[in-house]
Amino acid sequence: MTARVNINTLADIGAGQLPSMLVRQAVEMALAEDLGLVGDITTDATIPADAVARGVFAARTGGVVSGLDVARATFAALNPGVGFDAQVADGAQVAANTIVATVNGPARAILTGERVALNYMGRMSGIASLTRRYVDAVAGTGAAIADTRKTTPGLRAFEKYAVRCGGGLNHRIGLFDAVLIKDNHIVAAGGLELAVRAARARAGHLVKIEIEVDTLDQLDRVLAMAQTAPVDAVLLDNMTLDQLRVAVASVAAARASTGARIATEASGGVSLATVRAIAESGVDVISVGALTHSAPVLDLGLDFEG
Protein backbone atom coordinates (compact mmCIF):
# COMPACT_ATOMS: atom_id res chain seq x y z
CA MET A 1 0.00 0.00 0.00
CA THR A 2 1.25 3.41 -0.93
CA ALA A 3 0.30 5.68 1.91
CA ARG A 4 0.62 8.94 0.08
CA VAL A 5 0.03 10.99 3.19
CA ASN A 6 2.41 11.31 6.04
CA ILE A 7 1.10 9.40 9.01
CA ASN A 8 3.05 10.11 12.11
CA THR A 9 0.34 9.76 14.59
CA LEU A 10 -2.95 8.02 15.11
CA ALA A 11 -4.63 11.27 16.02
CA ASP A 12 -7.03 11.11 13.13
CA ILE A 13 -8.36 7.67 13.85
CA GLY A 14 -10.86 8.40 16.58
CA ALA A 15 -14.13 6.56 16.93
CA GLY A 16 -14.01 4.51 13.77
CA GLN A 17 -16.64 4.67 11.13
CA LEU A 18 -20.25 3.78 10.71
CA PRO A 19 -20.57 1.47 7.70
CA SER A 20 -21.88 3.77 4.98
CA MET A 21 -24.50 1.28 3.82
CA LEU A 22 -26.01 1.20 7.29
CA VAL A 23 -26.22 4.97 7.24
CA ARG A 24 -27.96 5.03 3.87
CA GLN A 25 -30.44 2.36 4.90
CA ALA A 26 -31.13 4.05 8.20
CA VAL A 27 -31.91 7.45 6.75
CA GLU A 28 -34.09 5.93 4.06
CA MET A 29 -36.05 4.07 6.73
CA ALA A 30 -36.46 7.19 8.83
CA LEU A 31 -37.49 9.28 5.85
CA ALA A 32 -39.99 6.64 4.78
CA GLU A 33 -41.54 6.86 8.22
CA ASP A 34 -41.82 10.63 7.99
CA LEU A 35 -42.84 10.98 4.34
CA GLY A 36 -45.31 8.14 3.94
CA LEU A 37 -46.89 7.89 0.51
CA VAL A 38 -47.34 11.58 -0.22
CA GLY A 39 -44.36 13.33 1.30
CA ASP A 40 -44.10 16.70 2.99
CA ILE A 41 -47.39 18.19 1.94
CA THR A 42 -46.78 21.50 3.65
CA THR A 43 -43.47 22.11 1.94
CA ASP A 44 -44.67 20.84 -1.42
CA ALA A 45 -47.59 23.22 -1.32
CA THR A 46 -45.77 26.32 -0.17
CA ILE A 47 -42.14 26.15 -1.27
CA PRO A 48 -41.39 26.53 -4.97
CA ALA A 49 -39.32 23.75 -6.47
CA ASP A 50 -36.47 26.10 -7.28
CA ALA A 51 -36.26 27.94 -3.97
CA VAL A 52 -32.94 27.64 -2.19
CA ALA A 53 -32.13 28.01 1.46
CA ARG A 54 -29.16 28.14 3.76
CA GLY A 55 -29.02 27.25 7.41
CA VAL A 56 -26.82 26.24 10.29
CA PHE A 57 -27.05 23.39 12.70
CA ALA A 58 -26.31 24.75 16.14
CA ALA A 59 -25.96 23.12 19.51
CA ARG A 60 -28.26 24.98 21.88
CA THR A 61 -26.43 23.55 24.88
CA GLY A 62 -22.91 22.21 25.21
CA GLY A 63 -22.10 18.58 24.56
CA VAL A 64 -20.36 16.08 22.33
CA VAL A 65 -21.35 15.91 18.68
CA SER A 66 -22.18 12.63 16.95
CA GLY A 67 -24.04 11.81 13.78
CA LEU A 68 -22.84 14.38 11.27
CA ASP A 69 -22.57 11.78 8.50
CA VAL A 70 -26.09 10.63 9.20
CA ALA A 71 -27.39 14.17 8.84
CA ARG A 72 -25.43 14.58 5.60
CA ALA A 73 -26.85 11.34 4.24
CA THR A 74 -30.38 12.39 5.13
CA PHE A 75 -30.27 15.42 2.88
CA ALA A 76 -28.39 13.53 0.17
CA ALA A 77 -31.14 10.91 0.09
CA LEU A 78 -33.70 13.63 -0.59
CA ASN A 79 -31.66 15.63 -3.05
CA PRO A 80 -28.02 15.08 -3.97
CA GLY A 81 -27.78 18.82 -4.60
CA VAL A 82 -27.87 19.74 -0.92
CA GLY A 83 -24.51 20.89 0.44
CA PHE A 84 -23.67 19.87 3.98
CA ASP A 85 -20.48 21.09 5.58
CA ALA A 86 -19.52 19.85 8.99
CA GLN A 87 -17.78 22.51 11.05
CA VAL A 88 -16.57 20.08 13.67
CA ALA A 89 -15.93 16.35 13.66
CA ASP A 90 -17.92 13.66 15.42
CA GLY A 91 -16.55 13.39 18.92
CA ALA A 92 -15.90 17.11 19.29
CA GLN A 93 -16.94 18.65 22.56
CA VAL A 94 -18.67 21.91 21.80
CA ALA A 95 -19.99 24.79 23.86
CA ALA A 96 -23.58 26.03 23.76
CA ASN A 97 -24.45 27.89 20.56
CA THR A 98 -21.68 26.32 18.54
CA ILE A 99 -22.41 25.88 14.86
CA VAL A 100 -21.69 22.25 14.07
CA ALA A 101 -22.62 22.22 10.40
CA THR A 102 -24.00 24.35 7.60
CA VAL A 103 -26.47 23.23 5.01
CA ASN A 104 -27.46 24.89 1.77
CA GLY A 105 -29.26 24.10 -1.43
CA PRO A 106 -32.80 23.21 -2.49
CA ALA A 107 -35.14 24.57 0.17
CA ARG A 108 -37.64 21.74 -0.11
CA ALA A 109 -35.09 19.05 0.66
CA ILE A 110 -33.66 21.00 3.57
CA LEU A 111 -37.03 21.64 5.18
CA THR A 112 -38.24 18.11 4.56
CA GLY A 113 -35.11 16.46 5.95
CA GLU A 114 -34.63 18.75 8.93
CA ARG A 115 -36.46 16.65 11.50
CA VAL A 116 -34.92 13.31 10.56
CA ALA A 117 -31.45 14.81 10.60
CA LEU A 118 -32.09 16.36 14.00
CA ASN A 119 -33.67 13.21 15.39
CA TYR A 120 -30.54 11.23 14.58
CA MET A 121 -28.03 13.86 15.60
CA GLY A 122 -29.86 14.81 18.77
CA ARG A 123 -30.03 11.23 20.00
CA MET A 124 -26.52 10.28 18.99
CA SER A 125 -25.07 13.47 20.42
CA GLY A 126 -27.07 12.94 23.58
CA ILE A 127 -25.46 9.55 24.05
CA ALA A 128 -22.02 10.85 23.20
CA SER A 129 -22.46 13.69 25.65
CA LEU A 130 -23.56 11.48 28.50
CA THR A 131 -20.76 9.03 27.78
CA ARG A 132 -18.26 11.86 27.89
CA ARG A 133 -19.55 12.92 31.30
CA TYR A 134 -18.93 9.41 32.63
CA VAL A 135 -15.54 9.24 30.95
CA ASP A 136 -14.56 12.57 32.43
CA ALA A 137 -15.79 11.48 35.83
CA VAL A 138 -13.31 8.62 35.94
CA ALA A 139 -10.43 10.48 34.35
CA GLY A 140 -7.08 9.36 35.69
CA THR A 141 -8.32 6.18 37.32
CA GLY A 142 -7.49 3.85 34.48
CA ALA A 143 -11.08 2.63 34.20
CA ALA A 144 -12.86 2.65 30.89
CA ILE A 145 -16.56 3.32 30.43
CA ALA A 146 -18.46 0.80 28.33
CA ASP A 147 -21.94 0.48 26.93
CA THR A 148 -24.27 -2.50 27.16
CA ARG A 149 -26.83 -4.27 24.95
CA LYS A 150 -29.56 -2.00 26.40
CA THR A 151 -29.78 -0.07 23.14
CA THR A 152 -32.71 1.18 21.16
CA PRO A 153 -33.98 -1.58 18.84
CA GLY A 154 -32.72 -0.87 15.35
CA LEU A 155 -30.16 1.72 16.40
CA ARG A 156 -27.47 -0.41 17.99
CA ALA A 157 -24.85 0.45 15.37
CA PHE A 158 -25.57 4.13 15.79
CA GLU A 159 -25.66 4.12 19.55
CA LYS A 160 -22.48 2.08 19.92
CA TYR A 161 -20.80 4.51 17.56
CA ALA A 162 -22.07 7.43 19.64
CA VAL A 163 -20.59 5.85 22.74
CA ARG A 164 -17.23 5.71 20.98
CA CYS A 165 -17.65 9.37 20.01
CA GLY A 166 -18.00 10.15 23.69
CA GLY A 167 -14.79 8.30 24.50
CA GLY A 168 -16.42 5.10 25.67
CA LEU A 169 -15.68 1.51 24.80
CA ASN A 170 -18.09 -0.86 23.19
CA HIS A 171 -19.03 -3.93 25.14
CA ARG A 172 -19.97 -6.90 22.92
CA ILE A 173 -22.07 -5.94 19.92
CA GLY A 174 -24.62 -8.67 20.37
CA LEU A 175 -25.11 -12.19 21.59
CA PHE A 176 -22.83 -13.48 18.88
CA ASP A 177 -19.42 -11.88 19.27
CA ALA A 178 -18.46 -12.68 22.83
CA VAL A 179 -19.56 -15.10 25.51
CA LEU A 180 -21.08 -13.77 28.70
CA ILE A 181 -21.97 -16.53 31.10
CA LYS A 182 -24.59 -15.73 33.73
CA ASP A 183 -26.25 -17.68 36.50
CA ASN A 184 -28.77 -19.45 34.34
CA HIS A 185 -26.10 -20.70 32.01
CA ILE A 186 -24.06 -22.07 34.88
CA VAL A 187 -27.00 -23.90 36.38
CA ALA A 188 -28.09 -25.40 33.10
CA ALA A 189 -24.59 -26.44 32.09
CA GLY A 190 -24.09 -28.28 35.35
CA GLY A 191 -21.64 -25.96 37.04
CA LEU A 192 -19.15 -23.20 36.55
CA GLU A 193 -16.39 -25.18 34.96
CA LEU A 194 -18.63 -27.12 32.65
CA ALA A 195 -20.18 -23.87 31.49
CA VAL A 196 -16.83 -22.29 30.68
CA ARG A 197 -15.56 -25.40 28.95
CA ALA A 198 -18.70 -25.70 26.89
CA ALA A 199 -18.39 -22.07 25.87
CA ARG A 200 -14.72 -22.47 25.03
CA ALA A 201 -15.50 -25.48 22.85
CA ARG A 202 -18.16 -23.56 20.99
CA ALA A 203 -16.49 -20.22 20.72
CA GLY A 204 -13.20 -20.55 18.90
CA HIS A 205 -9.87 -18.93 19.58
CA LEU A 206 -10.93 -15.40 18.65
CA VAL A 207 -13.90 -15.08 20.98
CA LYS A 208 -13.53 -13.83 24.49
CA ILE A 209 -15.34 -15.33 27.43
CA GLU A 210 -16.60 -13.27 30.32
CA ILE A 211 -18.37 -14.65 33.32
CA GLU A 212 -20.66 -12.83 35.70
CA VAL A 213 -19.93 -13.29 39.37
CA ASP A 214 -22.08 -11.98 42.16
CA THR A 215 -19.94 -13.00 45.12
CA LEU A 216 -16.31 -13.18 46.02
CA ASP A 217 -16.66 -16.90 46.48
CA GLN A 218 -17.74 -17.30 42.94
CA LEU A 219 -14.82 -15.20 41.84
CA ASP A 220 -12.40 -17.42 43.72
CA ARG A 221 -13.80 -20.46 42.03
CA VAL A 222 -13.36 -18.78 38.65
CA LEU A 223 -9.78 -17.86 39.42
CA ALA A 224 -9.05 -21.35 40.69
CA MET A 225 -9.77 -22.83 37.30
CA ALA A 226 -7.51 -20.45 35.40
CA GLN A 227 -5.53 -23.34 33.92
CA THR A 228 -8.35 -25.74 33.15
CA ALA A 229 -11.11 -23.36 32.08
CA PRO A 230 -9.74 -19.86 31.76
CA VAL A 231 -11.90 -16.83 31.17
CA ASP A 232 -10.91 -13.48 29.71
CA ALA A 233 -12.99 -11.24 31.92
CA VAL A 234 -15.13 -11.25 35.02
CA LEU A 235 -18.23 -9.16 35.36
CA LEU A 236 -18.51 -8.09 39.00
CA ASP A 237 -22.21 -7.47 39.24
CA ASN A 238 -23.77 -5.31 41.92
CA MET A 239 -20.85 -5.56 44.29
CA THR A 240 -20.13 -3.07 47.03
CA LEU A 241 -17.04 -0.93 46.78
CA ASP A 242 -15.38 -3.12 49.37
CA GLN A 243 -16.18 -6.23 47.42
CA LEU A 244 -14.89 -4.63 44.25
CA ARG A 245 -11.58 -3.81 45.91
CA VAL A 246 -11.15 -7.35 47.15
CA ALA A 247 -12.11 -8.70 43.76
CA VAL A 248 -9.56 -6.53 41.98
CA ALA A 249 -6.90 -7.65 44.40
CA SER A 250 -7.78 -11.31 43.88
CA VAL A 251 -7.51 -10.98 40.16
CA ALA A 252 -4.19 -9.20 40.47
CA ALA A 253 -2.89 -11.95 42.74
CA ALA A 254 -4.00 -14.60 40.27
CA ARG A 255 -2.15 -12.81 37.54
CA ALA A 256 0.98 -12.53 39.58
CA SER A 257 1.01 -16.25 40.24
CA THR A 258 -0.18 -17.56 36.88
CA GLY A 259 0.31 -14.77 34.38
CA ALA A 260 -3.36 -14.95 33.46
CA ARG A 261 -4.71 -11.66 32.17
CA ILE A 262 -8.32 -11.32 33.31
CA ALA A 263 -10.14 -8.04 32.81
CA THR A 264 -12.39 -6.83 35.60
CA GLU A 265 -15.69 -5.16 34.81
CA ALA A 266 -18.11 -3.60 37.28
CA SER A 267 -21.79 -3.19 36.60
CA GLY A 268 -24.94 -2.36 38.53
CA GLY A 269 -25.76 0.74 40.50
CA VAL A 270 -23.59 2.95 38.34
CA SER A 271 -24.48 6.64 38.16
CA LEU A 272 -22.56 9.84 37.69
CA ALA A 273 -22.61 10.10 41.47
CA THR A 274 -21.08 6.68 42.05
CA VAL A 275 -18.92 6.03 39.04
CA ARG A 276 -15.70 7.58 40.27
CA ALA A 277 -15.68 5.63 43.50
CA ILE A 278 -16.28 2.47 41.51
CA ALA A 279 -13.45 3.35 39.19
CA GLU A 280 -11.15 3.93 42.11
CA SER A 281 -11.67 0.34 43.18
CA GLY A 282 -9.29 -0.47 40.36
CA VAL A 283 -11.64 -2.21 37.94
CA ASP A 284 -10.69 -2.07 34.29
CA VAL A 285 -14.11 -1.39 32.84
CA ILE A 286 -17.39 0.01 34.11
CA SER A 287 -20.46 -0.73 32.00
CA VAL A 288 -23.37 1.67 32.12
CA GLY A 289 -26.77 0.83 30.64
CA ALA A 290 -27.96 4.41 31.01
CA LEU A 291 -25.55 5.58 28.30
CA THR A 292 -27.94 4.22 25.71
CA HIS A 293 -31.22 3.60 27.45
CA SER A 294 -31.76 6.88 29.20
CA ALA A 295 -29.62 9.61 27.67
CA PRO A 296 -31.59 12.78 27.01
CA VAL A 297 -31.11 14.22 23.52
CA LEU A 298 -28.62 16.98 22.96
CA ASP A 299 -30.60 20.06 22.03
CA LEU A 300 -29.67 20.87 18.45
CA GLY A 301 -31.54 23.12 16.06
CA LEU A 302 -31.48 24.23 12.46
CA ASP A 303 -31.55 27.98 11.99
CA PHE A 304 -32.29 29.37 8.57
CA GLU A 305 -30.45 32.43 7.38
CA GLY A 306 -31.48 35.43 5.39
Binding to its own copies in span 87-106, by CB under 8 A:
none
Based on CB atoms, which residue is closest to its own copies, 79 or 141? 79
Q: Any contact of residue 118 with its own copies (CB under 8 A)?
A: yes
**Distances, alpha carbon 251 to alpha carbons 202, 216, 231, 263, 280, in Å:** 25, 11, 12, 8, 15
Q: Any contact of residue 161 with its own copies (CB under 8 A)?
A: yes
Q: Which residues are catalytic?
A: 115, 150, 182, 212, 237
How many angstroms separate the CA atoms of 246 and 239, rounded?
10
CA-based radius of gyration for the chain: 23
Say how many residues touch its own copies, by CB under 8 A.
132
Helix (H, G, I), strand (E, B) or coil at 191: coil
Tell me which of 76, 78, 138, 239 binds its own copies, using CB under 8 A: 78
Tell me which of 35, 88, 225, 248 binds its own copies, using CB under 8 A: 35
Question: What length is written for the chain?
Answer: 306
How many angstroms separate the CA atoms of 183 and 152, rounded?
25
How many angstroms separate the CA atoms of 225 and 183, rounded?
17
Based on CB atoms, which residue is closest to its own copies, 216 or 263? 263
For residues 266 to 295, the per-residue mask of contacts with its own copies, x marking binding by CB under 8 A and - elsewhere, is ------------------xx----x--xx-
Contacts with its own copies in 195-254 (CB under 8 A)?
195, 197-199, 201-208, 210, 230, 232-233
Q: Any contact of residue 4 with its own copies (CB under 8 A)?
A: yes
Contact between 78 and 27 under an 8 Å Cβ cutoff? The reply is: no
Q: Any contact of residue 26 with its own copies (CB under 8 A)?
A: yes
Based on CB atoms, which residue is closest to its own copies, 140 or 174? 174
The H or E element that residue 271 is part of is none
Based on CB atoms, which residue is closest to its own copies, 95 or 176? 176
194 by Cβ neighbours in 10 Å (0-12 / 13-18 / 19+) ranks as middle
